[in-house]
């Protein structure tokens, strides 16, 4: 699947491949689908759909929800900043595609190191693996990627995460932020796989952050 990626670094892909090889030699893979596939037909596995990740930590959402920001306005009435100004851009994520079942079975995360390189941080399976592919195949996403393919300023797909609220969405980000939209991957806060403007997503996340107990163990 050809997905345009902003300055995609070979070092990130190489770090994932090296990290997976090291784990295979040492402790193996904890995720069941990847463990089975690597053990039985590793030659049918490949990395695909590289994309960056954007993180909205709970601390950021709570800071935005503070009532003293806007003269004690409730979260729904707060004038929020642009999503791009508060989301932290992380390293790269790759889907691990299994050609025997014709679908992605896991995802690999390459994060920055102190030496300005990358390392394999996480391998996981679950709904946000298949959900990301489903979102990429949505007609609006295909149109956005296709129409921008020959543009000097193409759009970029990112995985938007608010872990403390269990939110994930495909963020189609343009140079012109007015064109941006997000497809949530589950219906917990917003309709799943329907286009939502970033301001609506950020408002919903800020409101949800207020309901999380202050002693919550999750700060992500």
For every one of its 220 residues, what pLDDT tens digit does the chain have, with 9 covering 90 and above? Answer: 334 445 678 899 999 999 999 988 888 888 899 999 988 898 999 999 999 999 999 999 999 987 444 444 555 566 889 999 999 988 999 999 999 988 999 999 999 888 888 999 989 998 999 999 999 999 999 888 877 555 556 789 999 999 999 999 999 998 888 899 999 999 989 999 999 999 999 999 999 998 887 655 444 5
Q: Please, what sign has the CA dihedral across residues 194, 210, 122, 101?
A: negative
| Distance between CA atoms of residues 211 and 198, nearest Å | 21
CA gyration radius for the chain? 18
Residue 112: per-residue pLDDT: 86
Q: Is 104 helix (H, G, I), strand (E, B) or coil?
A: strand
Residue 28: per-residue pLDDT: 85
Q: What are phi and psi of 173, to 5 degrees?
A: -110, 130
Residue 145: per-residue pLDDT: 81
């Amino acid at each position: 699947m050809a997905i345009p990626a902003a300055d995609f670094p070979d070092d990130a892909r190489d770090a994932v491949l090296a990290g997976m090889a090291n784990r295979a030699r040492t402790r193996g893979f904890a995720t069941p689908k990847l463990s089975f596939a690597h053990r039985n037909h590793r030659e049918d596995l490949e990395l695909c759909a590289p994309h960056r990740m954007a993180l909205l930590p709970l601390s950021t959402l709570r800071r935005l929800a503070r009532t003293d920001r806007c003269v004690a306005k409730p979260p729904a009435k707060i004038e929020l900043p642009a999503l791009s100004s508060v989301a932290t851009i992380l390293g790269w994520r790759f889907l691990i595609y299994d050609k025997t079942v014709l679908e992605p079975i896991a995802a690999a995360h390459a994060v920055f190191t102190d030496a300005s390189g990358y390392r394999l941080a996480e391998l996981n399976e679950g709904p946000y693996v298949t959900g990301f592919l489903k979102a990429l195949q949505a007609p609006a996403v295909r149109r956005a990627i296709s129409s921008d393919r020959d543009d000097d300023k193409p759009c970029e797909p990112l995985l938007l995460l608010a872990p403390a609220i269990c939110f994930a969405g495909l963020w189609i980000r343009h140079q012109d932020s007015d064109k941006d939209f997000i497809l949530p991957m589950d219906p917990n806060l917003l309709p799943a796989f329907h286009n939502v403007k970033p301001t609506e997503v950020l408002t919903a996340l800020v409101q949800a952050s207020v309901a999380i107990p202050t002693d919550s163990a999750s700060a992500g």
